[in-house]
């Protein structure tokens, strides 16, 4: 039996928590790109944790790839109040595994932008990518065809965007807190205490394709039975011992669905 793997996620979370407590503020460089400012804030936390990472770019995935560990971190900054129930994944499906690396997502919420060049991290969730989507098999590709239009020379490009719920939409008890969510097979660091057990259950059906009618603008998904229907994926919600209040629980799926519909 192989030894349980030791993740960097707990050290990274501690660095984020300590910076939020001091507080180390997010520094705005321009008004138009707040999420990149939160990425810069998070990159400094990896420096605090003495973790080396590859340089980041605007179109790289994940945002931070660790050099000496098979892990990576994707960072999502969210203005709150604002759109916090869902977020856009441009040409990339959320996942907990990418190119042999375990992927963690870092969600940080900050106040609405005004004229202040600096603003705090209101609350934070660091979660394993499988909490958002446990499928590791899908490979995204952009496709296109030519022949559209009256002269038959226009190209139609199928460039997909995937919209996923955030941990704030999926759970109760994360607002105003700093929480880490990991699969239950990851040994929890002794500095942490469990504040919830979260279960995500695979759906009865799975989308295997879709069609789009250019005459009616109707988008129709094609569904098949999910061979893993009913499979439960278990996660632990944890906080640093003695910090934070209350427990973390999963919201009812109909409540999540309403939030997602309202956020579009």
pLDDT attached to residue 122? 93
Mean pLDDT by groups of 10 residues along the chain of 264 residues? 72 97 86 73 96 80 93 92 87 90 95 78 96 93 92 91 94 96 94 97 94 94 95 97 94 80 66
Ranges assigned E (strand) in 93-201: 97-98, 101-110, 118-119, 123-128, 143-148, 154-158, 161-165, 171-172, 178-183, 192-201
3-state secondary structure 138-167: CCCCCEEEEEECCCCCEEEEECCEEEEECH
pLDDT attached to residue 35? 59
pLDDT attached to residue 114? 62
Domain assignment present for residue 210? The answer is no
Domain assignment present for residue 216? The answer is no
Domain assignment present for residue 221? The answer is no
| Domains contained in the chain, number | 1
Q: What is the pTM of this model?
A: 0.92
pLDDT attached to residue 91? 77
pLDDT attached to residue 2? 45
Domain assignment present for residue 124? The answer is yes
Q: Which domain holds residue 62?
A: 9-200+232-263
Domain assignment present for residue 208? The answer is no
Domain assignment present for residue 214? The answer is no
Domain assignment present for residue 226? The answer is no
SS3 230: coil
Domain assignment present for residue 163? The answer is yes
């Amino acid at each position: 039996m192989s030894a349980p793997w030791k993740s960097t996620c707990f050290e990274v979370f501690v660095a984020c928590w300590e910076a939020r407590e001091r507080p180390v503020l997010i520094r705005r460089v321009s008004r138009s790109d707040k999420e990149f400012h939160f990425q810069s804030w998070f990159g400094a936390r990896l420096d605090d944790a003495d973790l080396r990472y590859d340089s980041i770019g605007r179109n790289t995935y994940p945002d931070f790839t660790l050099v000496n560990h098979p892990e990576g971190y994707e960072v999502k900054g969210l203005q709150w109040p604002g759109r916090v129930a869902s977020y856009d994944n441009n040409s990339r499906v959320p996942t907990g595994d990418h190119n042999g690396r375990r992927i963690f997502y870092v969600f940080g919420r900050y106040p609405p932008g005004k004229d202040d060049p600096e603003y705090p991290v209101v609350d934070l969730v660091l979660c394993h990518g499988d909490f958002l989507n446990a499928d590791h098999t899908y490979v995204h590709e952009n496709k296109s065809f030519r022949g559209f239009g009256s002269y038959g020379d226009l190209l139609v490009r199928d460039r997909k965007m995937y919209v996923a719920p955030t941990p704030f939409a999926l759970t109760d008890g994360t607002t105003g807190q700093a929480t880490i969510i990991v699969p239950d097979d990851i040994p929890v660091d002794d500095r942490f205490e469990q504040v919830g057990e979260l279960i995500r259950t695979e759906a009865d059906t799975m989308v295997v394709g879709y069609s789009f009618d250019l005459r009616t603008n109707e988008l129709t998904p094609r569904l098949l039975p999910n061979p893993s229907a009913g499979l439960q994926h278990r996660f632990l919600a944890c906080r640093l011992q003695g910090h934070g209040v209350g427990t973390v629980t999963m919201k009812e799926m109909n409540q999540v669905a309403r939030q997602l519909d309202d956020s579009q």
